[in-house]
């Protein structure tokens, strides 16, 4: 019985943390197809409520992929201003920002659904001068 009460107290202490996501909304902000149309860069804006700063997630996905199937973001930032995405060529993507705290950045992307991982996109992340 004491073990049950101790476990309940421990789990109860973490319950408020799990409620932080209740106010989170994710919106697909922009989708831009690569020049050859095989993949897209997708910006997802995450608004997290008053206590957590908003974030931007940048995904590279096969064209037409649903948001629920995006997988891991190529770039994740918060405390951002003026983020732009621009294809330089079929497999070269520039993401340019005026201001951002970069939390995650993967320089390359490939997928088993596009040429069995042989279609590789190189991503460049640059701060505006």
pLDDT value at residue 47: 78
Helix (H, G, I), strand (E, B) or coil at 11: helix
**Which residues are CB-neighbours of 6 under 8 A, at least 6 positions away?**
none
pLDDT value at residue 11: 42
Q: Where are the domains of the chain?
A: 22-127
pLDDT digits (tens, 9 = 90+) for 35-83: 999 999 999 998 776 666 789 999 999 999 998 899 999 999 998 989 9
**Structure tokens given for 32:** 């831009």
pLDDT value at residue 12: 43
- Distance in angstroms (rounded) separating the CA atoms of residues 34 and 41: 7
């Amino acid at each position: 019985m004491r073990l049950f009460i101790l476990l309940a107290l421990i789990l109860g202490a973490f319950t408020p943390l799990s409620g932080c996501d209740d106010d989170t909304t994710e919106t697909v902000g922009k989708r831009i197809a690569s020049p050859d149309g095989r993949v897209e860069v997708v910006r997802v804006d995450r608004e997290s409520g008053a206590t957590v700063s908003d974030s931007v997630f940048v995904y590279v996905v096969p064209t037409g992929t649903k948001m629920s199937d995006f997988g891991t973001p190529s770039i994740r930032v918060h405390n951002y201003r003026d983020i732009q995405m621009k294809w330089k060529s079929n497999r070269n993507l520039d993401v340019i920002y005026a201001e951002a705290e970069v939390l995650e950045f993967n320089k390359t992307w490939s997928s088993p659904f596009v040429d069995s991982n042989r279609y590789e996109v190189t991503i460049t992340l640059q701060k505006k001068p």
